[in-house]
Chains A and B, each alone.
With several copies, the nearest count.
Chain A
Amino acid sequence: MTINEKQDELISDFSFMDEWMDKYEYIIQLGKDLPLIDPKYKTDDNLIKGCQSQVWLHTDLVDGKLIFTADSDAVITKGLVSLLVSVLSGHTPKEIAESEIYFIDEIGLRSHLSPTRSNGLLSMLKQMKIYGIAYQVKSQQ
């Protein structure tokens, strides 16, 4: 699936849920499926410090594709990371760098999450795209 196909699938999954509590239920479930970061990468370098919870994010280049692993001390945050990882992991640096992420707005996450959470989500996304750009540059060198 392309990044956009994955996004569209997520949007469709969420569209079946009317209640925000159901959406959270789903996000939390996704968090449990998040490919966990190897503890040795749980370093300060890989830490994205939010206001109230923390996120560790790591990436490996495997067969020309970026594989993301992550973790968070908060379960909902983990679910949100998981959304991003499921959409972006397994794509080439170029695809990631050039991707346009619209599912966050479409699902209504940005307007429904607390601003600190949605800011956190955006800085995670930014970090993943930076990895995309960095690996792209590296491969061109």
Chain B
Amino acid sequence: MAHVPDIAAPALDIDKIRKDFPLLQEKVYGKPLVYLDNSATTQKPQVVLDTLERYYKQYNSNVHRGVHHLSQVASEEYEAARHIIAAFINAREHEEVIFTKGTTDSINLIANVFGRGVIKAGDEVIVSAMEHHSNIVPWQIMCEDRGAVLKVIPMDENGELIMSEYAALLSDKTKIVSVAYVSNSLGTVNPVREIIALAHARNIPVMLDAAQAIQHMPLDVQELDVDFVAFSGHKIYGPTGIGILYGKREWLDKLPPYQGGGDMIKTVTFAKTTYNVLPFKYEAGTPDISGAIALGAAVKYVQEIGLENIHAYEEQLVNYAVAQLSKVEGLRFIGNPKHRSGAVSFLVDTIHPYDLGELLDKQGVAIRTGHHCAEPVMDFFCIPGTVRASFAMYTNKEDIDRLVVAINKAAAMLR
């Protein structure tokens, strides 16, 4: 039986943090909610809800082109949110931060504009074996359209990328590498510095799917020297419907536009349309103004608590979860990465994850079961799916303890 580490006095006051999140106070089937589906989406602190409300009650208005007061306030707040996020990821310029609908939208954007602006028939794109569907299918669609080829970095039994194979895949045909920073199905933290360095040695740009990284660890785009980063607001305590694409100016300036519409143009005639400068070039149409501003509020909330602190705390928490879960009879982890963040996937005996999930739910414990939009990972391990518990800064020891009790109870019923 594994040694159970204590959670050292955390730099953050979890009880206080939990009070900031109204939904955590809810009950499910009369039992206090244990919310362990944070990789799917996180709950929102009150300050995010207040920001949404203030927006709609005090200055809701379309942005950018209005001379009137409300439009000016809305435009300022919208751009202020961009500045907050640019500072958060340490972008050199705030114009490198594009508001999108979410990670999926951001990746599709880059896949599409690479397809139209860079990729020729026979060119190659590299992803990894542990990607979320959102970092596979956009590339498949683009590759099919352009006659390009999708290459896959394989992984080992622990759920770690085989870096020598990656190095061997890189070639003059490779036009972009796009990998998850952290795997949503396994919790693996990938060696992104090495991935980027190897690609850059051949002048190949790298996109990071940071959907499962941005809320768990500090991410500095300049220090990483990464070319593109995608993440979703709703996974970092912000609202649904908003996300971020970071891109280096040198790339975004030269790539073609994605969607066409209002705001992304300089002048339009039927004969010739010229495109606007960054960031507007990639923000066609009325953006999700309230979503962007509320995401700014969420990021500010995270900054106030400090990602370093969150990271340190969550690391202890994940270790505690791994240790406690190890004690469950018949439980095996899917993925045993050296660096793990945010989530643990597992199965118990031959119990179907779906059965386990249902009985956990009825005990007030919300986890996710299934393929986690990463079917190739499930195929690799020859399993129909896993049970995944995933964490946030407000997750506490009691959540883990109640998870373990609930698993034991469910397993006893299901065996």
Contact = CB atoms under 8 A, between A and B. Distances in A.
Are both chains from one complex? yes
Nearest to B385: A52
A25 B412 CA distance: 10
A39 interface: no
Interface stretch (A5-13, A57-65, A70-78): A70-78
Given A25-B413, A52-B369, A114-B72, A74 B359 contact: no
Interface in A1-51: 20-21, 24-25, 28, 51
Contact of B352 (A24, A53, A115, A116): A53
A53 B384 CA distance: 9
Interface string B334-364: 0000000000000000011111001101110
Contacts of B241: none
Contact of A20 (B65, B76, B362, B414): B362
A129 interface: no
A20 B354 contact: no
B414 A75 contact: yes
Given A51-B65, A73-B384, A115-B76, A24 B359 contact: yes
B72 A76 contact: no
A117 B67 CA distance: 9
B232 to A, nearest CB: 23
B384 A24 contact: no
> Chain A interface: which size bin?
10 to 19
Interface in A58-115: 73-77, 113-115
B147 interface: no
Contacts of A77: 352, 354-355
Interface in B290-334: none
A52 B413 contact: no
Nearest to B29: A20
B112 interface: no
Contacts of A117: 358
A20 B72 CA distance: 17
Most A CB within 10 A of own CB, among B65, B355, B370: B355
Contacts of A115: 72, 75-76
B354 A28 contact: no
Nearest to A79: B355
Given A28-B413, A28-B414, A75-B414, A53 B354 contact: yes
Given A21-B359, A24-B413, A28-B414, A114 B67 contact: yes
A113 B361 CA distance: 10
Contacts of B358: 24, 76, 113-114, 117
Contacts of B76: 115
Contacts of B414: 28, 75-76
A49 B298 CA distance: 37
A76 B352 CA distance: 9
A74 B353 CA distance: 8
B67 A75 contact: no
Given A75-B352, A75-B414, A76-B359, 9 more contacts: A21-B362, A52-B369, A53-B352, A53-B355, A74-B352, A76-B414, A77-B355, A114-B67, A115-B75
Interface of A: 20-21, 24-25, 28, 51-53, 73-77, 113-117
* 10 smallest beta-carbon distances between A and B, as pairs: A74-B352, A52-B354, A114-B67, A76-B355, A74-B354, A75-B355, A74-B355, A53-B354, A20-B362, A75-B414
13 contacts: A20-B362, A24-B359, A28-B413, A28-B414, A51-B65, A52-B369, A52-B384, A53-B384, A74-B352, A76-B355, A77-B354, A113-B358, A114-B358
